[in-house]
Amino acid sequence: MKSEAITSEQLYSSKNDSSTTDTSFSHSMFQMNLQALQKTFSPIAKIEDFVANSLENVSRMNVIVLAGTFLLLFSGAFLVYELQPEFVEFNIGRMESTIGFGFLIVTMVLLAFKASFFLYKGYLYLKYKPIDSVSDELLPTCTVIVPAYNEGKLVWDTLFSIANSDYPEAKLQLLAIDDGSKDDTWHWMQEAKKRLGDRLTILQQPKNQGKRHALYRGFNLGTGDVFVTIDSDSIIKTDTLRNLVSPFVTNENCGAVAGNVRVLNNKKAILPKMLNVSFVMSFEFVRSAESMLGSVLCTPGALAAYRRTAVFACLPEWINQTFMGQPSDIGEDRAMTNMILKQGHHVLFQKNAYVLTDVPEQYKGLYKMFIRWSRSNVRENLMMAKFVFKNFRKESKFGARLLFINQFLTIALSYPFLIFMLFFVVMHPLLFLSSTLLGILIVSSFPVFFYAKRYNFSESLWAYSYSILYTFGLFWITPYAIATAAKRGWLTRELPAK
C-alpha cells in the first residue's frame, strides 16, 4: 500500500473514509513552502529548478543514510559469524564466573519476560478495533483547547484544521491561548479570529507561564462535556474530532482518549522520517494493546480528549503538582492520564483519530525532547506506583499493573545495563559492536514489517536507521533523565531552530 501525502483538500473536505484512514497520510510542509514560493517569485521556471535541486539533494542523502545503515547491519552480522570462537570463549568465561553466571540468569529471565510481554501485546493488538464515530445527534459538546508558544503561522494551520472538522458547529467550542509568545503567534491567532469570527475565542496569557497553566485556563473557560487538547504545531483530519470523542458515548467509564500521532514534517529531514516510523509503532501497536487493557499510560499532548467530570475531579491536584518540592512544568499529559486512571476510569486509544505534529529535525532538538519525555516518565512512574497496586478500579487491574511493571523494569535496569554495556565496550569492543548490530537487524525487523504492512515499504526501512541512532546516540537519555528527574524546564521551547 502506498503512502499518500495529506493535502488541504483532504484536511478540509474529506469525510469519514475508512480507506483514507488506513492509508498513511503526511502533511507536506514542503508543498506549503512551494506554494509560498510560487506567490513570491517569478518566473515559474525558477521554482521548478529549486524543487528539482531540493528533491535531488534529499533523495541522495536518503540513499546514503539507508545504504550506510545496511552496510553497518550486515557487516555486524558477518562479524558475528566470523567471530564465533571468540563468542564461545566469552560465554564460557561468563558461565564459569559467579557474577557472570548470575548476570546471565537475570538476563535470560528478563528476556523471557520481555518476549512474553511482546507476544501478549501482539495478541491484544490483533483483538483491537477502534470505535466508529457515533451520529451527530449523539456526539457530545466539545471544547478544543490549543495552547501556543512561539509557533508562528503554524498555529493558523492548526486552528483552521480544527475549524474545518466534520463536527456539529453548535457542539464545538474552540479556544486558542497564547502563552506569552515572543514571535508573531498572537498575530496569526488574531488573523484566524478575523476569518473564523465567533467560532474561535483567542486569549493571551499576561506572561509565559507554561503549557500546563494555559491548559488550566482553557479547562476553566471550557463549556463542553469533553475537553480536547491539541498542540499548536499539529494538524488534524476532518473526521479526527468525532472519532476521538465517540468512546465517551459508547463507554460510560471512559475518562480519556489518546489520538493517533504521526509526523507532520517528514518529507525532507531525515530525523522526522525515522520518528514517523517510530510513532506508528508506539501508537498503532503499543497503544492499541494498552487500550485493550483500558490503561493507555499517556494521552499525548498533540491530541487527547478528557471527560469533563474526570478533569475537574483532579484539576486542583494537577495544576498544583510538584516533584521534589518544585512545581511540575513538564509532563502535563502523562500526569493528567495518571490522575484519571487513579479515579478508576478507562483510558483508551483511537487509531482512527489522526493528528500530524511537528518534530525536531536536528539532533539537539531531538535529545532535548526525549530528555523531557523521559523525566516525565520517571516522575509519573513513581506517582503510578502509589495507586496501581491498590483497589483503584472495580474491573480487572491486571493490565495496568503489567504495563507499570514493564515500564518500571525498563527504568530500574537502565543503570545496570549501562554499566554492563560500558564494560563490554572496553573489554570486548568488536564483540559488542557486532552483536549489537546483529541484534538491531533482528529486533528492528518487526517495526519494519509492521509499518510496511500498514503503509509503505520504502518508508519502513527508516526503522533500522532509527534503531542505530537510538542505540548509539540516545542510549544515555534514560540514565540521564533519572539523575536529573527533578530539573525543570521545557528544554525545546527556546530553540532557535529545529
At 370-401, the pLDDT tens digits run 999 999 999 999 999 999 999 999 999 999 99
Interatomic CA distance for residues 199 and 5, integer angstroms: 28
Indicate whether 240 belongs to any domain: yes
The DSSP code for 295 is: B
- Say what the alpha-carbon torsion angle 419, 420, 421, 426 is, to the nearest 10 degrees: 90
* CATH code of 169's domain: 3.90.550.10
Range with lowest mean pLDDT among 91-105, 175-189, 336-350, 464-478: 91-105
Residue 151: inside a domain: yes
Q: Specify if 466 maps to a domain.
A: yes
Residue 106 domain-assigned (yes or no):
no
Domain assignment of residue 359, yes or no: yes
In a domain, 103, yes or no: no
Residue 36 neighbours by CB distance under 10 Å:
11
Q: Which domain holds residue 373?
A: 1-82+128-498
CB-CB contact of 24 with 456 (8 Å): yes
pTM (two decimals):
0.86
Whether 120 maps to a domain, the answer reads: no
> What pLDDT digit, counting tens, does each position of 112-134 carry?
999 999 999 999 999 999 999 99
- Mind spelling out the 3-state secondary structure of 121-158? HHHHHHHCCCCCCCCCCCCCCEEEEEEECCCCCHHHHH
- Rg over alpha carbons for the chain, rounded to the nearest Å, is 24
Q: Buried b / exposed e across 300-312, counting CB within 10 Å, b at 16+?
A: bbbbbbbbbebbe
What is the structure's pLDDT at 321?
Answer: 96
Residue 106: predicted pLDDT = 87
Q: Mean pLDDT, to the nearest integer, of 54-63?
A: 71
Site of grid cell 512551494: 34
Average pLDDT over residues 6-35: 42
Alpha-carbon distance values, 107 to 19, 102, 300, 440, 457 (Å): 43, 9, 32, 17, 33
> What span, in angstroms and rounded, lies between the C-alpha atoms of 384 and 400?
10
In this structure, is residue 336 part of a structural domain? yes
Number of domains in the chain: 1
